[in-house]
Amino acid sequence: MAVAESAVPVVRRFRGRAWHETVSFYLFVSPWLIGFVALSVFPLILGFATSFTNYDGFNIDNLKFRGLGNYARVLEDDDVLYSMGRTLVFTALNVPLGIILALGLAMLLNQAIPARGVFRTLFYLPHVIPIVAIVWVWRIFVDQNYGLLNAVISLVRPDTGIRWLVDYATYVVVALTLWEGVGGGMVIFLAGLQGVPNELREAATIDGANGWQVFRNITLPLLTPVIFFQLIMSIIGSLQILVAPILLAGASMGSVPPRANYLYLVHVYVQVFANQRFGYGTALLWLLFAVVVVLSALIFKSSRYWVYYEVDQGGR
């Protein structure tokens, strides 16, 4: 009995210390937690609720619940299917090209070549330049009348006035996006390549494997988790592109790009900020979220057949 009574203060001290540590933990994380709730959770809930209303930014006194009306309106909006189709075309071009170029650069710059660090920096530099600056540089480069690209072509074909931002608008945005984003993918692939054991490559070489066989049978399978990550992030980023096509079209964010670059988020931008259809615009955004979730789920489902993990993923 005496032993039990002497243990009570110890238990109380333990509980008091655990309570103190818990309070301290939440005090330390409270700035982030408050910011997360105020700037992420609350806007998501508010945006979802707005998608069921006729909110236009000013009609608080006349706000009405429309139910699924905004979502049903999508079936009557021809620009939704068109813009989504253009976005999928852009994604189909940008994602595989971006992954292939990033992997190729990483393979090249993973070799023991002179000034390797300088080249890594140069290729990564566009990734940290603000997108507005990048777009203005590209506008100067591909301008129909004064662009450097047409000036070079004019040396061979005089009086060349190719309308790059109209006739080849999609390819210009793809090229701009690749130039800006390949450096980031290259860094991630470099990290993956440095995780591939050299012993496996050396053993395959000793057994008579050439460079392509080593890459296909050793390097590439061990890089599939990195490729999987890059694939998911590239698809999400491509579906959400907005600033580049709009700024390429004109001097302000109010400019509407040509039809070739009338992507899905551009249509959302027009509906929300030009037509003041906040409820309909947020409904379009939630539909895009559903598309992203479905595509991501399909890729995750297929990953069990082509992504190789050295550690068992628990029946994934």
Report in angstroms the alpha-carbon separations of 13 from 8, 24, 113, 194, 262. Answer: 9, 16, 62, 49, 65
Q: Tell me phi and psi for residue 298, to 5 degrees.
A: -65, -40
Task: Quickly tell me which residue has 């390949």 as its tokens.
Answer: 182
CATH topology (fold) of 78-306: MetI-like fold (1.10.3720)
What is the model's pLDDT at position 285? 93
Residues 6+ apart with CB under 8 A from 218: 196, 200, 201, 204
Confidence of residue 8 (pLDDT cuts 50, 70, 90): low
Confidence of residue 96 (pLDDT cuts 50, 70, 90): very high
d(CA 96, CA 89): 12
**Would you say residue 165 has pLDDT above 70?**
yes
What length is written for the chain? 316
d(CA 78, CA 82): 6
Is the pTM here over 0.95, yes or no? no
Confidence of residue 210 (pLDDT cuts 50, 70, 90): confident
- Give the dihedral of Cα atoms 133, 176, 283, 281; nearest 10 deg: 50
Amino acid in position 184: G
Task: Quickly tell me which residue has 């940290």 as its tokens.
Answer: 128
